[in-house]
Amino acid sequence: MQIHTLSAYETTAQEFFGKLAEWDADLVLDVRLKNTNQLAGFTKRDDLAYFVEKIQHADYAHDVLFSPATTVLERYLRGTMDWEDFFANYHREMVQRDAVPQFFEKYGRYQSVAIVGTATQKRRSHVEILQQMIEDSQAGLPDTALEQVTARDEAADAAREAEKEARRHHRKSA
């Protein structure tokens, strides 16, 4: 099973569904706590469920088992809790809820899962923590640590920058 993360914010429908197609996602798992207001645009729960089925021919599930507690999320969004504290609180919640084993019970039959969260250019999302916890479990590794997620993020950022630079170089030489 491949696990991917995707933000419902700061993205176009073309980018969003392009990623789903690239990943050949057969499940879009929406783990946002609040996904029904008009500000969600095309990623509003009922609209997203429709589009995922019609465009990607995949299943859609909204599952708040994997959402952070409202109080923790609000503190993080307001800036009164930093990423490290948010990570620790969310991680603890997922362990207490026995979330990762439940993920495999509910969604283990899928091959490519896109988990939808709320990352922005300025704010990280709980989905990256959840992704790492699931991947660690699949690999039989010990529980996720903040350092692992940070290292993976830094490696992904470096790869994206290298890809951008390669494209720039290719355009200049063409």
Q: Where are the domains of the chain?
A: 2-142
Average pLDDT value for the chain? 86
What pLDDT band is residue 38 in, cutting at 50, 70 and 90? low
The CATH topology of domain 2-142 is: Cobalt-precorrin-4 Transmethylase; domain 1 (3.40.1010)
State pLDDT tens for residues 117-148: 988 888 899 999 999 999 999 988 776 666 66
| Three-class secondary structure assignment of the chain | CEEEEEECCCCCHHHHHHHHHHHCCCEEEECCCCCCCHHHHHHCHHHHHHHHHHHHCCEEEECHHHCCCHHHHHHHHHCCCCHHHHHHHHHHHHHHCCHHHHHHHHHCCCCEEEEEECCCCCCCCHHHHHHHHHHHHHCCCCCCCHHHHHHHHHHHHHHHHHHHHHHHHHHHHC
Name the pTM for this structure: 0.78
pLDDT in tens, 69-108: 999 999 999 999 999 999 999 999 999 999 999 999 999 9
